[in-house]
């Protein structure tokens, strides 16, 4: 279960930030707003999910990483509040139904939530923290969610608002049991995974509203997203190994290389080639192989991170999990290879037609 959750968490972070980065590159101000939402969501969740991944993959588990997990939850509590504040701005932009009363309600609830999160009674830095304040700080957050669900549902037929109310509803309804009962029944924490799926789908729906089809520009967007991934991967490799005093070679050192070479540079080259062609069919035919390529790269990088974290923390998973890690990583490399070869074949056939 720990291995599966680690793969899920890392994939989620890369995807949601990737969607956000791509939206930030668009000219539309609404797209930039939603892109900021995606990046904020992923960046904030990373403070909590990365320590969870490390806890799953290292000796000592969650007890050894209690401080990081608690402060990560603190950061996530703030960024999630800001995420929904930005969503309210998106709602107003799409529906033109913003009013002073709605503004006041949202700002009061957001401010109340932030103040409650900042209070020392939460006992941040310890696990499980103060149960009572865990409920109190989520009351204004829940009320904010109810308002956004109601308002979004009322405007669900408006452009860019379809499915928003439903996804926000599921994100809150799946979060509630965790707040109320996770301390007494740890298995309830499993609800966080479908809740995370709801958030990912929320960002994806916003992404598809602004990016309805694969375009030549999609290549440069994917290239830039890979650049960000490579830079972040390099920083994580340097700082994580420094914390553990690890000086040997590790799979973490391969993450930024793969992202920069097989992602950023390779996709940039493809963009330079495809952008010279005025044939829309060529771009359309590249959609599947390019997304297969990127999916394989994502899976490969996720497994490198998992393998690298295990190496650095000195935790041996056992022969069966080790085989699973290698097998899934192999699947990622296969997808990556097939995607690259498929894309090159399409380009080569195009060259033959033009010769």
Q: Do 31 and 94 share a structural domain?
A: yes
Q: Do 130 and 34 share a structural domain?
A: yes
Q: Do 197 and 172 share a structural domain?
A: yes
What pLDDT score does 62 carry? 82
User: In this predicted model, what pLDDT tens digit does every residue of 144-171 receive, in sequence order?
Assistant: 999 999 999 999 999 889 999 999 999 9
User: In this predicted model, what pLDDT tens digit does every residue of 35-88 receive, in sequence order?
Assistant: 999 999 999 999 999 999 998 888 877 888 888 888 999 999 999 999 999 999
Q: Do 92 and 234 share a structural domain?
A: no
Pseudo-torsion of CA 286, 291, 293, 296, nearest 10°? -160
Choose one of 210, 227, 248: the last residue of a domain.
Answer: 210
3-class secondary structure for 257-285? HHHHHHHHHHHHHHHHHHCCCCCHHHHHH
Q: Do 184 and 239 share a structural domain?
A: no
> Could you list the mean pLDDT of each consecutive 10-residue stretch along the chain, which spans 355 residues?
87 96 93 96 94 87 85 94 96 91 96 95 85 90 96 92 94 88 77 91 95 90 94 94 89 94 93 77 85 95 93 68 84 94 85 51
> Is the distance from CB of 255 to CB of 308 less than 8 angstroms?
yes
Q: Do 20 and 158 share a structural domain?
A: yes
Q: How many domains does the chain have?
A: 2
What pLDDT score does 352 carry? 44
Residue 75's region, left for phi above 0, alpha for psi from -120 to 50, else beta, is alpha
What pLDDT score does 11 carry? 95
Q: Do 202 and 229 share a structural domain?
A: no
Q: Do 54 and 202 share a structural domain?
A: yes
Choose one of 163, 183, 210: the last residue of a domain.
Answer: 210
Q: Do 235 and 176 share a structural domain?
A: no
CATH number of the domain to which 49 belongs? 1.20.1070
Q: Do 201 and 241 share a structural domain?
A: no
What pLDDT score does 60 carry? 78
Q: Do 259 and 320 share a structural domain?
A: yes
Query: Using CA of residue 179, residue 182, residue 184, residue 188, what is the dihedral sign?
Result: positive
What pLDDT score does 184 carry? 74
DSSP-derived 3-state class of residue 98:
coil
Q: Do 181 and 144 share a structural domain?
A: yes
Residue 50 CB coordination number (10 Å): 22
Owning domain of residue 346: 216-354
């Amino acid at each position: 279960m720990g291995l599966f959750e680690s793969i899920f968490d890392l994939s989620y972070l890369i995807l949601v930030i990737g969607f956000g980065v791509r939206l930030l590159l668009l000219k539309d101000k609404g797209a930039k707003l939603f892109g900021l939402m995606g990046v904020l969501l992923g960046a904030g969740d990373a403070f909590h999910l990365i320590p969870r991944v490390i806890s799953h993959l290292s000796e000592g588990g969650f007890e050894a990483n209690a401080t990081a997990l608690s402060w990560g939850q603190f950061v996530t509590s703030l960024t999630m509040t800001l995420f929904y504040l930005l969503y309210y701005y998106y709602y107003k932009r799409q529906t033109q139904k913003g009013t002073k009363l709605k503004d006041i309600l949202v700002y009061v609830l957001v401010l109340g939530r932030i103040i409650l999160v900042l209070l020392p009674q939460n006992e941040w830095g310890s696990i499980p923290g103060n149960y009572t304040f865990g409920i109190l700080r989520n009351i204004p957050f829940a009320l904010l969610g109810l308002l956004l669900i109601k308002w979004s549902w009322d405007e669900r037929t408006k452009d860019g608002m379809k499915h928003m109310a439903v996804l926000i509803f599921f994100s809150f309804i799946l979060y509630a049991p965790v707040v109320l009962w996770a301390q007494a029944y740890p298995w309830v924490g499993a609800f966080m995974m479908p809740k995370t799926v709801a958030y990912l789908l929320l960002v994806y729906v916003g992404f598809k509203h602004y990016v309805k089809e694969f375009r030549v520009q999609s290549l440069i967007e994917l290239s830039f997203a890979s650049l960000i991934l490579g830079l972040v991967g390099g920083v994580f490799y340097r700082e994580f190994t420094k914390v553990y005093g690890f000086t040997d070679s590790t799979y973490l050192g391969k993450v930024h290389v793969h992202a920069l070479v097989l992602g950023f540079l390779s996709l940039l080259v493809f963009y330079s080639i495809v952008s010279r062609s005025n044939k829309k069919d060529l771009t359309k035919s590249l959609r599947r192989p390019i997304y297969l390529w990127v999916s394989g790269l994502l899976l490969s990088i996720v497994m490198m991170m998992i393998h690298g974290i295990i190496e650095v923390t000195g935790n041996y998973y056992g022969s069966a999990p080790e085989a699973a890690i290698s097998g899934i990583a192999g699947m990622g490399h296969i997808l990556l290879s097939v995607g690259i070869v498929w894309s090159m074949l399409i380009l080569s056939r195009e060259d033959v037609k033009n010769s």
